[in-house]
Amino acid sequence: MERLEFTVSPEQAGRRVDVVLAGCAGDLTRSSLQRLIAGGALTLNGAPVLKSCKLAEGDRVVLLLPDPVEPEAQPQDIPLCIVYEDDALLVVNKPRGMVVHPAAGNQDGTLVNALLYHCRGRLSSINGVIRPGIVHRIDKDTSGLLVVAKTDEAHQGLARQIAVHSMLREYRAVVHGSLPQESGRVEAPIGRHPVERKRMAVTARGGKEAVTHYQVLGRYQGFSYLSLRLETGRTHQIRVHMAYIGHPVAGDPVYGPKKTALAGGQCLHAKTIGFTHPLTGERLTFDSELPDYFQKFLSGLRPMA
């Protein structure tokens, strides 16, 4: 069972606990939240409380969240851009705006729905009925390449390569500002944001190891064009790490500046993927073009003198 746990900040003090929680537990409806509180799932400083209780600065709030019940994803006839396919796996170029697998608020229209239709249900079962075949993910607003497993054997072989950092995952991004070095390494643990559950953050407490390598490909007025390589693969890793060092991804609606429309979309693209085929042993590498909106934004920037 998951726990939502936080210490009340000065800004939250004096507000009702259910109102504060509604802003933190974004996946829950207000009625679901109230049922949890009524059932004793909420404690304040270790004691059960009512939803109308008002908070004081420094109070410790803990809400026990039930394990989600995952419905089985259904096939949908959605076009896919398939870069490579054989009996064991396929490589897909995901468009920006497509969610990888069903979740709260996105029950259909996802990559998994499209894969189930295309593969006639023949996908690895390791990640269950809601994420069949999914070995790794990229964000909804990130475009680019990811590999999908059709068999459990292929899934296990690909997952091992991710675990030992032998799978190549290279991205392109436009970020705000000018980085002081031509290349570098960001090593900072990433975990769930302590209050805003839909966000990730660099955090020592509960964070997992995360390493991102970057190289500057171009410098422009107000922006830099980067090549980034993942050594680990945490949720929102590149976006969190770039924001952490003061250079958020252009157009990032969560970790970037409030005015995100300037990029016409999030300028982050999974350009290259390379791995050893888990059945044949052949080393495969695939590359993809930057999407049109990304190229248009990049070409409109003014190079540094």
Catalytic residue numbers read: 139
Say which amino acid occupies 73: A
- Are the C-beta atoms of 190 and 201 separated by less than 8 Å? yes
Residue 208: DSSP 8-state = B
CA distance 56 to 53: 10
- Are the C-beta atoms of 142 and 96 separated by less than 8 Å? yes
Length of the chain: 305
Q: Nearest 5 degrees, angle CA 280-CA 286-CA 291?
A: 155
CA distance 89 to 84: 8
Say which amino acid occupies 32: S
Q: Which of 79, 66, 77 is nearest to 33 (CA)?
A: 66
CA distance 244 to 10: 24
